Structure 1
């Protein structure tokens, strides 16, 4: 089937498709966490003392009593069997942004040839997947295969049901035989523990005596695109790279702003409802759904959960989004920039910290000027972002996210903090050495009797800020759509722990010198804002004026590409930060640089090879055929006495030659491998390969506007974004 025939066939299939069967939604009370081994289900099935022990571990991070594992395993197995599961899997999160799992049956063959269902505490607590083929960054030799998974009791087990059966899934950590973390969960648990320890110090110095464990929370808004499977199957770039490497813009894009928050198309709403039903069964609190800015783009947002559980749920959410799309004849694209020239996709990580005794420690209340607890924790965040801004940038550094950061729909690569008018004013007062009050938020009165008067927020939102305060939390907007949220959460919790320890040291020093608590707090806050206030910015983060001011006047880093940002992980003060707090050892941190650098290089090499292949085998033949047809037509008309201007023939020929010259340059660049180190190779990818890819695309996209539609080999932007 020719390229154009495939396109026509795809459009015909979509136009004539049968609607996905829609069923009436079940009551939420029937759905909610029905496939999760929750505390309430444990309480029903475990002996009282065993349940109390497990609950204590989950709620207070107390050490797990391994002696109860057999009892828990038996109850978990019986529950899983009642849900139709014949297999169990230790689920873990290697350094790939993907989820890994090894399935084992409950089956145990007896001496008489009969079988029973068996699941022991030893198997629950520890698994041993082959770790040889997972990214390790030099931690282990190629021939060393042993790796361990270990049960994370703080994240609940669940049933993953598919058309082919059900599996009991047990969240675990993944470590090497020598004990180094090979996953994203282990550092997250360590970072949260470090933050809790530091927060406890600060809260104690403020006079609190009853202090529950402090945990971080996360609510990650997920943006994504949906494209019909018929189109994706005809686009090698979407299949293998997740984004279009060629494609001229459609006449209509997002310029009318008519898709954003518009009525959700019927086909998409049926898909969303299917997704949400599965998420509710898994205990994932999907709260919001809507059309996003670009045509074909949508968003789902969950309610807040503890960071570790939210991270596991985020991985599950991405899996459900992608798997459910297949059933609906769609492909879910989680690439940050699948279509050039329209809105990209991020994952806005809403992050806060708190506990059950002191509450949300980033909630300013109605009078933030007098809420010293909030001011100290907010000040610690400001210090952390300023001191470790490049590390935050490195935490979101991927080849795909480079297309988004700094574009009009995304925050810039410069890390800054937006506080809002009210808090800006309070911290200005702190800088002056005296806090006098908070600006009044006021009310909204539209003068319409049927519209009630309501309270305004104390400050507006700044959608151009990468790290914005949004009322009772910070929103890290630079995280990429396809990323795990674990890395950003590890970074945020680690830098907060470091800053809280600094705050505690400052308070202890001032108090021991005779200062009263209020004076010590004010002096500590003033030092923070004096030394780190340069990171606070409330203006337009997209503007060239800010980029100039940030770098030249405020000394902030502008790390535009992942090639610029990832080497931050090798800096001595970053190594010391993670090592001191027990989050990542020097060996573990070094391995992450090697892994992420390799992933960056490989991602660009795959794209570059696709560009060469698609240009040579798809676009070039179509263009040559069109040139041949035009040339033959001109010659035929000329022989009949009709002269046609061959200007267009020359223009198209020039474009074809220019494209193929760029393809030859790109092929040569791909073949270059004589680099001294990963940093040099990444910079070559960023500064040489990517610009040549853009050069090929420039000519190819111009050709798309010149060649007859019937000869263009790939589905167009107009088709993919608007034919639903």
Structure 2
């Protein structure tokens, strides 16, 4: 039996393989190029390409592809074979440095938000050497960036790499002032926790709403849901366990550090968490995780659902983004540390995060905005749409004592000033965890818990990196010009905390009281995606992206347009699917079942006219009233969908939220009531009870 260590990363052209297959001078030159962020010399590229090809062919690969992440939120690939014809009718297996470095996929049908016209098809992919190539389905996959003919980023990777570089530059600049001259680079790390549902594939295929929309548009609540809390961390059923074992094995082959697996709160809901790694790799690997999850599910006769709210009335699925910063010398900048100077360094990075989250709470809300996530946020299963952060009691008390110039509890009787008196050690787990907080400090990292399960984690990380880079630079500006470093440092920490402590909340984010308190604090409550999206292109946000060259103005506005358009298209698809389900399935089923009772009533009265047939008459009347109401509501919805065609932009998005979704919800209530009465054999598709308890 193979051990994990014997096959882990076996399908990855990783550092070990490069050292074994490349001449030493080429390997060193490649690593220096990656480290310095310089263009790759074609001689080096040719050597790397040949070694990569030989390795891949040896493992059965026949094709290569530039694997990229367009603004669809999923990955894309165009396969090219290694085959090259010879004059004598045979073939050579060829792969050049030029083919490694640059590709040219058709860009015409990818979302661009107006960055290019449909007839302007040219797009380029460029190798990202910071992310290892890998083999998937006998194809060598080369992680790449994707840009237009004129150079604008058409993907999610390019802005992420830009934001990582921006934060690194800003963090290194600040660390220099603490005497950390050995630090050359600061990386951001991420560790996504991926939630998902598994349902029987045959049942899944019988639900048009799940197939077309990823979520159920109708469905009555089953007698049993998650009330008994017996699924969370419960024993994993054999069929699911077999799936998880296969999933882990395939991910490990691809070098993905799949670590934790368990049952989640809702029936048929589960979670996979991976080990923290550089943000760029974490994004790549999470995209692979979502793809492989679906592929392995097919093999087991299952369907993997990544929608944020596949089922009404039970917990939806999120994706927690564990984020931190670390130096190339191995220092976690969000680790409190034990010595005074380390505490001082930690605290200034901490207040930079606090300031960034407060000043850019609108951007963080935009980063998790989608039609699917709107069903989940604030539903007592996920953080609300109000952005706040949790620090824990001890860390909050330390900051309060510093800001107020008072003694910190029993651990230090002296008033604390940074770099003057000893700060007490801050334990990594000094307080309990707050599972309701959108942005929680968890010992040496922050857990951003608002992401939806289907999200690419690039967006939130792009924003976190950029806004924190801005705050770090502002602190460096103050510190570089000061004559009294310790005094200025202390003032920055205290003034920043006092100015932005409104964003810190350690209580229950699910409570109604918090909503009122957040309003009193002046925090934003952007309930829905149409509420939040305009913030993306607010002048202050456009300014910070431009300053750090993460998004140009045209790139930013294009992404805003894509997000708005995606929301509208999603709701429109759901509405059209809903109308079709009601007209072609629900109403005919209800009519057939009521006709059964009507016929029974007629039969009974023909045998004995004195029979009351109360049940039959009551049910037929109730069915008839519901059917008429549902029919009228669907006709109204259909007219509303037609009205949408005359609208565009954010106006159309708001119309979708206020008019289309509202009418769908009203009609759904009628359909779900009918489902509660229609007998087995008549209802046209699997119920919630069958879907949630079939695996």
Aligned to 2:527: 560
Identify which of 657, 682, 685 aligns with 1:711: 682
Aligned to 1:388: 360
Give the 5 Å matches for 1:470-481. Answer: 470-481=442-453
Give the 5 Å matches for 1:455-470. Answer: 457-470=429-442
Separation of aligned partners in 1, 2:318 and 2:140: 31
> Which digits, 9 at most, give the CA deviation of each residue in 1:71-98, with x for residues without a partner?
1001000101111101000000000111
Q: Does the 8 Å CA contact 2:428/2:444 hold for their aligned counterparts?
A: no
Q: Secondary structure at the match of 1:101?
A: coil
Q: Secondary structure at the match of 1:153?
A: coil
Q: Does the 8 Å CA contact 2:428/2:442 hold for their aligned counterparts?
A: no
Tell me which stretches of 4 or more aligned residues in structure 1 moved more than 3 Å: 57-67, 366-370, 433-440, 673-677
Aligned to 2:417: none
Aligned to 1:152: 128
Separation of aligned partners in 2, 1:655 and 1:506: 68
Q: Does the 8 Å CA contact 2:644/2:655 hold for their aligned counterparts?
A: no
Separation of aligned partners in 2, 1:208 and 1:559: 41
Does structure 1 residue 610 correspond to structure 2 residue 582? Answer: no
Aligned to 1:696: 667
Separation of aligned partners in 1, 2:559 and 2:239: 41
Shift of 1:707: 1.2
TM-score normalized with structure 1 length: 0.92
Separation of aligned partners in 2, 1:475 and 1:189: 21
Aligned to 2:418: none
Does structure 1 residue 196 correspond to structure 2 residue 168? Answer: yes
Q: Secondary structure at the match of 2:656?
A: helix
Q: Secondary structure at the match of 2:262?
A: strand
Q: Does the 8 Å CA contact 1:218/1:351 hold for their aligned counterparts?
A: yes
Separation of aligned partners in 2, 1:114 and 1:233: 45
Q: RMSD across aligned C-alpha pairs, in angstroms? A: 1.6
> Which digits, 9 at most, give the CA deviation of each residue in 1:316-361, with x for residues without a partner?
0111000010000000000000010001000000000111326100
Identify which of 561, 566, 570 aligns with 1:594: 561
Separation of aligned partners in 2, 1:64 and 1:70: 10
Separation of aligned partners in 2, 1:607 and 1:96: 18
> Which digits, 9 at most, give the CA deviation of each residue in 1:645-703, with x for residues without a partner?
12222222211111111111110111013656411101001111111110111000000
Aligned to 1:621: 588
Of stretches 53-62 and 142-151 in structure 1, the one that deviates more from structure 2 is 53-62
Does structure 1 residue 35 correspond to structure 2 residue 11? Answer: yes
Identify which of 472, 482, 491 aligns with 1:523: 491
Separation of aligned partners in 2, 1:425 and 1:547: 23
Shift of 1:60: 5.3
Does structure 1 residue 545 correspond to structure 2 residue 513? Answer: yes
Shift of 1:209: 1.4
Shift of 1:457: 2.4
Q: Which runs of 5+ in 2 are unaligned?
A: 413-426
Q: Does the 8 Å CA contact 1:637/1:643 hold for their aligned counterparts?
A: no
Does structure 1 residue 533 correspond to structure 2 residue 501? Answer: yes
Label 1:373 to 1:595 Cα distance change in 2 as closer, same or farther (>3 A).
same
Shift of 1:369: 9.4
Identify which of 24, 33, 48 aligns with 2:24: 48
Q: Does the 8 Å CA contact 1:367/1:437 hold for their aligned counterparts?
A: no
Separation of aligned partners in 2, 1:103 and 1:502: 46
Separation of aligned partners in 1, 2:328 and 2:150: 37
Separation of aligned partners in 1, 2:311 and 2:341: 45
Aligned to 1:284: 256
Q: Does the 8 Å CA contact 1:399/1:600 hold for their aligned counterparts?
A: yes
Does structure 1 residue 687 correspond to structure 2 residue 658? Answer: yes
Label 1:571 to 1:393 Cα distance change in 2 as closer, same or farther (>3 A).
same
TM-score normalized with structure 2 length: 0.95
Label 1:691 to 1:548 Cα distance change in 2 as closer, same or farther (>3 A).
same
Label 1:521 to 1:63 Cα distance change in 2 as closer, same or farther (>3 A).
farther
Separation of aligned partners in 1, 2:536 and 2:317: 25
- Equivalent pairs counted in the alignment come to 677
Shift of 1:436: 4.8
Q: Which runs of 5+ in 1 are unaligned?
A: 1-23, 441-454
Aligned to 2:546: 579
Q: Does the 8 Å CA contact 2:171/2:469 hold for their aligned counterparts?
A: yes
Q: Does the 8 Å CA contact 1:211/1:358 hold for their aligned counterparts?
A: no
Q: Does the 8 Å CA contact 1:311/1:486 hold for their aligned counterparts?
A: yes
Q: Does the 8 Å CA contact 1:425/1:438 hold for their aligned counterparts?
A: no
Q: Secondary structure at the match of 1:400?
A: helix
Q: Does the 8 Å CA contact 1:57/1:154 hold for their aligned counterparts?
A: no
Shift of 1:62: 5.0
Label 1:493 to 1:438 Cα distance change in 2 as closer, same or farther (>3 A).
farther
